[in-house]
Structure 1
Amino acid sequence: MRMRLWTIAALLVLPATATAADPPIVFQTQPVGRILGDVRAVIKMVGGEAAVTGFTDGLKEKLGDKGFDGLDLDRPILGYVTLAEKLEESVGVIVIPVTGEKEFLALIERVGGEKLKAGDNGIYDIPTMDEGVKVQMRFEARNVYIAIGKAPTAALDPKSLVAPAKLHDPAEKALASVKVYFDRMPKELRNQIGAALGELKNQLKELKLPADASEPARKAVDELIKLGTRYTDMLQDAESAGAKVILDVNTGEAAIEVALAGKAGTPLAKVIAERQPSTNKFAGLITPDTVAGMKLQLPFFAKEIQSAAVIGLEAGQKQLAEAAPAEFKPLIEEVFKGLVRTVNDGEVDLAISFRGPDKDGLYTVVGAVAFEDSSGIEKELRALFKKELPPMYRGIFNLDVATVDKTNIHQAKVGGFLPPEAQKIFGEEASLTFAFAPKGIYIAFGPDAVNTMKAALAVKKAPSPPFEIVINPSKVAKLISDLGQEVPKGFGTQDKVVSVVALSIEGGKELRIKLGTNLKWIEGAGGALLPGGAKPPVKD
């Protein structure tokens, strides 16, 4: 009976001891076949068929007629890092899918010119330029494990190899991704990270401005230090972090994304979960006829940042009011009081759109910036208009030319003062309109600025990245031509608004920060860079 119990216990223990521990850092890519297909699609999008031919010829020149023979193009490349308590003793391992040992060795010989031979333990040594780093590899179950480190041999022990199934996330759609699990790190290394965060916190507390710094500057920095120490404390509750390279050839999206998740129930997890989707009060100003535009939300998401900004504004108001003429002091006071209200609101948005051409070939600019209750500014500007503006200029301005929901629209007819080059773009009758609304200050300039302003005042808050620049390539090409300049060969094939650069921040289970672009804005533009040019892609 006792012998049977020992046998059962041994069977339970042996698999656990033979299984490699979950690595603290893992990464994966899409299958090489898909990566090659995506790269070719992007090259074709930007440079046309000639560029694809050049890319293919380059690969053939490097790899020979057999190309990637030896590499399994239908399975992903995987990898992991085993961290040691001493970081310099850590080892990185790349897991490459192969079709066969002989074929992959031939591929290495074609690429690097080296003919590798295995040692008695089945491990191959790969020559390197760095004497302090060794690169070794072992074949295992239709994969080759390549280990890199100071002493990587132990990582290639069959019992230490991490199975591909433990590394691969089939749901991951990114081109390449890496993830760090902090709780899988060696205890000593976790302690070192905690100590480093503690030291950073102490350094923040000791941060001092020069002795001649003003009192408001000191107070503002103190608020930012509070923010830094608060976030440093929260980072100790991080559960995982990650990064991705995203490429979608169908939509044109290309981006880099980083992510952070906190342990359940911690302040960090709570802050991340409370992060709401980003919006912009004036996102609707970017319309289908936009040539180029921008949306921005300033980062006043934390009370400490708001407090620091308010301290700076109050100091600036005091200095400016002391130097300004008496008649302008009420306006200055209203401006700064409104700025403080806006900062404390936390949603400091702005947007601008350059639109056109209209039926007459003319363009318009419209923009808005968040401002909480701008009625005080309007009141003081009216007073200055009556008292201070010389009569010779009053004929340019028309106050209260229209009203939208109790918001007055004011106009300045400036088209006649524009140089001929500007009149060609905006028209001889172009005017400037402005309006002071409850949530923002608006401005429009163009041939029909009053109606443009009416439409702008009706725009509602909508989802939007915190920062984005957009263009319509076809309209940009038309504008360049209208200005008498030469359009780059192949540029302007895309006739819709696309993102040139966008920064998005999302919360939930993890905080995700993504910086990306849409490659369709340069569709066909690669022809200008190729010898002899290249035909732009044919539209569907």
Structure 2
Amino acid sequence: MRFKFLVAAAALLAPMTALAADPAVTFQTQPAGKILNDVRSIAKLIGGEKGAAAFNDGLKEKLGDKGLDGLDLDRPIVGYVVLAEKMDDSVGVVAVPVTGEKEFLALLERLEAPKPTAGEKGLYEFPTENEKGKVLMRFEARHAYVAIGKNPTAALDPKALVPAAKLHDPAEKGFASFKVHFDRLPKSHRDELGNSLKELKTKLDELKLPVDASEPARKAVDELVKLGTRYADLLQDAETAGGRLILDAASGEAAVEIGLTGKPGSALAKVIGERTPSTNKFAGLITPDTVAGFKLQLPLFAKEVQSAAVIGLEAGQKKLAGEAPPEFKAVLDEAFKGLIRTVNDGEFDLALSLRGPNKDGLYTVVGAVAFEDPAALEKELLALYKKELPPMYKGWFNLDVAKVENTSIHQIKVGGLLPPEVQKVFGEEASVALAFAPKGIFVVFGPDAVNVMKEALAVKKGPSPAFEVVVNPARIGKLVAAAGVELPPGFNGQDKVIQALAVSIEGGKELRIKLSTNLKAFEGVGTWLPGAGAAPATKFKD
């Protein structure tokens, strides 16, 4: 009899124990007070004092003098998902920190939220139009636990609630974040993920190209299939995956980031740990006087990608060898050889910077592209110049005008050919400087191209996102004004190089892929909009 009673009790407690276990999916936000302060600061940054005032007025109009009274502004909002064997039976739970039950219910009323009805055993139920789902709430441990699902009652049993402290990661600095713990998933979901990866591998293996596809295309696709298969195998050792929203009012950073970790000691963890911070050979071309610029490193992170790119380049090389005019064949051949060397090097970097204004109010463009050992290409280009260029054009060229170590600088005088509006920006004596350095080809266009080239050739590799666009708002304003374009009222950007857009990939304990911007690049943009109020036109010093 006692044995039967114990079995029955265990059966009743089993679901409760499962619910109280560590959730497979968790999420958290910063405290509501910090969220409000950051959003208010961003409103001020973008829209000025009027933007901040509009934000404050909107809150007061919606919430009245009591504001967010009832919500604890100093503690984070957390939550989790109770995954069931059938996904439709899963329940989402949000734990909102409150100052008191009565106060929070009053806040919901001020927010004009659907009014919850008090039920049995401390549960509240919100009205919903979804007949297949319920929204319930329970106050526990200074939190309002809100559960959403087909039958969320069990998830709100006091013994099943996951304590907020257990859900909160103090090291997490994201505005809001979530994390999936694969080892906590129900077996059915783990099996489904495993089957999905196997199905992906099968589809990759069975990938068919059109019957008329070229042999190089087939070989290139084969390399990419190998990459996909290898990564599908690695993902089977994933421990966690997650995402975070970053909004830092102090620095201006706004970003979306996804992350992945591997099981300790796994091949995936090893690959992630070996991922070094990305660099760019020409990072130093972005100088403090940059108006706008960008840096890019092509995604040649895997041997399979490099092999696919080389196959494509070799096919292009072979095709042009039979179609190009005879006088250009040697140049094209060396160009393709150099591109193949660069791809095999694994660091195919580019950078471009528009700089200025200088003391005379003029601007300069500086750019570089990775190219391994371009000496042979330079030799063929010089031979083509001597043999094919008509004498009437050779006067524009000044070959070997200067030298930095073993790298020659060549100059092309183009200032007199430029239209007046371009001369106004780059100068009447603007020229193009060209140099074939051991690791890249450099180009400069501007009023003092040769001297700027000498400085550019000394550039060193430096840390850089895989892709980045930067701007200097104040210098953009000066450039636009110099071009004779009327500036919007209130244009008052900082005289500082600011990241406008970036994609970064970082390894270590966690693989992190981030898309980011800096909102300071858009400072005052809101004041330009209709209805934002008149502002005096901005004047820039020469």
TM-score, normalization by structure 1: 0.95
**Other-structure match for 1:292:** 292
Q: How is 1:484-495 mapped onto 2 (pairs within 5 angstroms)? A: 484-495=484-495
**Other-structure match for 1:41:** 41
Distance 2:405 2:139 in 1: 73
Q: How is 1:132-143 mapped onto 2 (pairs within 5 angstroms)? A: 132-143=132-143
CA distances 1:82-113 after superposition (whole Å, capped 9, x unpaired):
11121111111000001111111111122125
Distance 2:385 2:173 in 1: 59
1:197 aligns with 2:197: yes
Distance 2:534 2:181 in 1: 46
**Other-structure match for 1:459:** 459
Closer, same or farther: CA 19–310 of 1 in aligned 2, 3 Å: closer
The residue identity in structure 2 corresponding to 1:69 is D
Distance 1:501 1:113 in 2: 37
CA distances 1:139-173 after superposition (whole Å, capped 9, x unpaired):
11110100011211111111110001110112222
Q: How is 1:474-493 mapped onto 2 (pairs within 5 angstroms)? A: 474-493=474-493
The residue identity in structure 2 corresponding to 1:445 is F
Give the conservation status (yes or no) of the 8 Å contact 1:490–1:526: no
Q: CA deviation at 1:19?
A: 8.4
The residue identity in structure 2 corresponding to 1:101 is E
Q: CA deviation at 1:249?
A: 1.3
**Other-structure match for 1:261:** 261
Give the conservation status (yes or no) of the 8 Å contact 2:115–2:127: no
Q: CA deviation at 1:122?
A: 1.6
Q: CA deviation at 1:504?
A: 1.0
Distance 2:30 2:333 in 1: 58
1:408 aligns with 2:402: no
SS of residue in 1 equivalent to 2:459: coil
The residue identity in structure 2 corresponding to 1:487 is L
Q: CA deviation at 1:529?
A: 1.7
1:527 aligns with 2:540: no
Distance 1:239 1:415 in 2: 60
1:182 aligns with 2:182: yes
The residue identity in structure 1 corresponding to 2:242 is G
Give the conservation status (yes or no) of the 8 Å contact 1:50–1:534: no
Q: How is 1:391-402 mapped onto 2 (pairs within 5 angstroms)? A: 391-402=391-402
**Other-structure match for 2:97:** 97
SS of residue in 2 equivalent to 1:48: helix
Give the conservation status (yes or no) of the 8 Å contact 2:116–2:127: no
Q: CA deviation at 1:368?
A: 0.1
Distance 1:534 1:27 in 2: 43
Q: CA deviation at 1:135?
A: 1.0
The residue identity in structure 2 corresponding to 1:528 is W
SS of residue in 2 equivalent to 1:112: coil
CA distances 1:275-321 after superposition (whole Å, capped 9, x unpaired):
01110000000000000000000000100000000000011111111
| Structure 2 runs not aligned, ≥5 long | 1-5, 537-542
Distance 2:79 2:436 in 1: 57
SS of residue in 1 equivalent to 2:118: coil
**526-535 or 80-89, larger mean C-alpha shift:** 526-535
**Aligned-residue RMSD, C-alpha:** 1.8
Distance 1:148 1:328 in 2: 69
**Other-structure match for 1:233:** 233
**Other-structure match for 1:362:** 362
Q: How is 1:6-85 mapped onto 2 (pairs within 5 angstroms)? A: 17=17, 20-85=20-85
**Other-structure match for 1:348:** 348
**Other-structure match for 1:277:** 277
Q: CA deviation at 1:532?
A: 4.1
Distance 1:154 1:481 in 2: 66
Distance 2:460 2:520 in 1: 28
Give the conservation status (yes or no) of the 8 Å contact 2:314–2:336: yes
CA distances 1:98-139 after superposition (whole Å, capped 9, x unpaired):
111111111112212543221112211112232222111111
Distance 1:113 1:208 in 2: 54
**Which aligned segments of 4 or more residues in structure 1 are displaced greater than 2 angstroms?**
16-19, 112-117, 128-133, 488-493, 532-536
Q: How is 1:488-507 mapped onto 2 (pairs within 5 angstroms)? A: 488-507=488-507
Distance 1:163 1:186 in 2: 21
Q: Percent identity?
A: 69
Q: CA deviation at 1:198?
A: 0.5
Q: How is 1:371-386 mapped onto 2 (pairs within 5 angstroms)? A: 371-386=371-386
Number of equivalent positions? 526
**17-26 or 240-249, larger mean C-alpha shift:** 17-26
CA distances 1:503-528 after superposition (whole Å, capped 9, x unpaired):
11111111011111111111112101
**Other-structure match for 2:111:** 111
1:509 aligns with 2:509: yes
Distance 1:215 1:223 in 2: 13
Distance 1:115 1:38 in 2: 30
Distance 1:265 1:390 in 2: 66
The residue identity in structure 1 corresponding to 2:210 is P
**Other-structure match for 1:468:** 468
Distance 1:439 1:323 in 2: 29
**489-498 or 226-235, larger mean C-alpha shift:** 489-498
SS of residue in 2 equivalent to 1:358: coil
Distance 2:469 2:123 in 1: 52
SS of residue in 2 equivalent to 1:340: helix
Distance 1:29 1:507 in 2: 24
The residue identity in structure 1 corresponding to 2:44 is K
Give the conservation status (yes or no) of the 8 Å contact 1:367–1:443: yes
SS of residue in 1 equivalent to 2:409: strand
Give the conservation status (yes or no) of the 8 Å contact 1:46–1:527: yes
CA distances 1:164-193 after superposition (whole Å, capped 9, x unpaired):
111011222211111111001111210111
The residue identity in structure 1 corresponding to 2:486 is E
Closer, same or farther: CA 80–534 of 1 in aligned 2, 3 Å: farther
**Other-structure match for 1:429:** 429
**416-425 or 76-85, larger mean C-alpha shift:** 76-85
**320-329 or 399-408, larger mean C-alpha shift:** 320-329
Q: CA deviation at 1:387?
A: 0.6
SS of residue in 1 equivalent to 2:121: coil
Give the conservation status (yes or no) of the 8 Å contact 1:489–1:533: no
Give the conservation status (yes or no) of the 8 Å contact 1:127–1:135: yes
**282-291 or 326-335, larger mean C-alpha shift:** 326-335
Give the conservation status (yes or no) of the 8 Å contact 2:115–2:126: no
Distance 1:270 1:114 in 2: 50
Distance 2:535 2:498 in 1: 21
SS of residue in 2 equivalent to 1:121: helix
Q: CA deviation at 1:461?
A: 0.4
Q: How is 1:149-160 mapped onto 2 (pairs within 5 angstroms)? A: 149-160=149-160
Closer, same or farther: CA 130–534 of 1 in aligned 2, 3 Å: farther
Give the conservation status (yes or no) of the 8 Å contact 1:526–1:534: no
1:130 aligns with 2:130: yes
Give the conservation status (yes or no) of the 8 Å contact 1:30–1:77: yes
Give the conservation status (yes or no) of the 8 Å contact 1:83–1:185: yes
Q: CA deviation at 1:534?
A: 6.7
Distance 1:114 1:506 in 2: 44
